[in-house]
Amino acid sequence: MATIHIDYLGDLRTDCTHLQSGTHINTDAPTDNQGRGEAFSPTDLVANALGTCIITTMAIFARRDGIDLKGSELDVTKVMTSQPPRRIARIEVDLTIRVETLPDEATRVRLEKIAHTCPVAISLRPDLEQAITIRWEEVVSA
């Protein structure tokens, strides 16, 4: 059974439906490739998939240890090749993990390893550079 249904809307745009939930996202070609850049481009979604996979997978394992990663943030930067063929050359993920109590060093190392080996990370081409920076911040709850 299909996971996603995609309708091509014309003018380099699509409407994508996640069939289980009915959630929609649209895509548009980027401005540097004949589009208007008014929605995620397909390559933006690849970069987004890496960032969301990293935090989701880390949160699954952190939850098992009673650690809540809510409030953590990621900034993701996609860098395209400058020479043909056009493809993603590098994805930079700048992750700030915010927790009430910093986990011990062994737990942090284990969770950081998970970030580098999430399903999307290990599915991408080996020559696509993944630059993942992780900072841990202890926050005081109000």
Fold of 41-138: GMP Synthetase; Chain A, domain 3 (3.30.300)
Domain boundaries, given as residue ranges, for the chain: 1-40, 41-138
Neighbouring-strand partners of residue 92: 77, 131
| pLDDT value, residue 28 | 97
Q: Which two tokens stand for residue 140?
A: 């005081």
Q: Is the pTM of this model over 0.85?
A: yes
| pLDDT value, residue 142 | 64
| pLDDT value, residue 129 | 98
Q: How many CA atoms within 13 Å lie on the side-chain side of 10?
A: 0
| pLDDT value, residue 140 | 81
Element (H, E) at 137: strand 129-138
Write out the chain's pLDDT in tens, 142 residues: 999 999 999 999 999 999 999 999 999 999 999 999 999 999 999 999 999 999 999 999 999 999 999 999 999 999 999 999 999 999 999 999 999 999 999 999 999 999 999 999 999 999 999 999 999 999 987 6
Cis peptide bond prior to 42, omega within 30° of 0: no
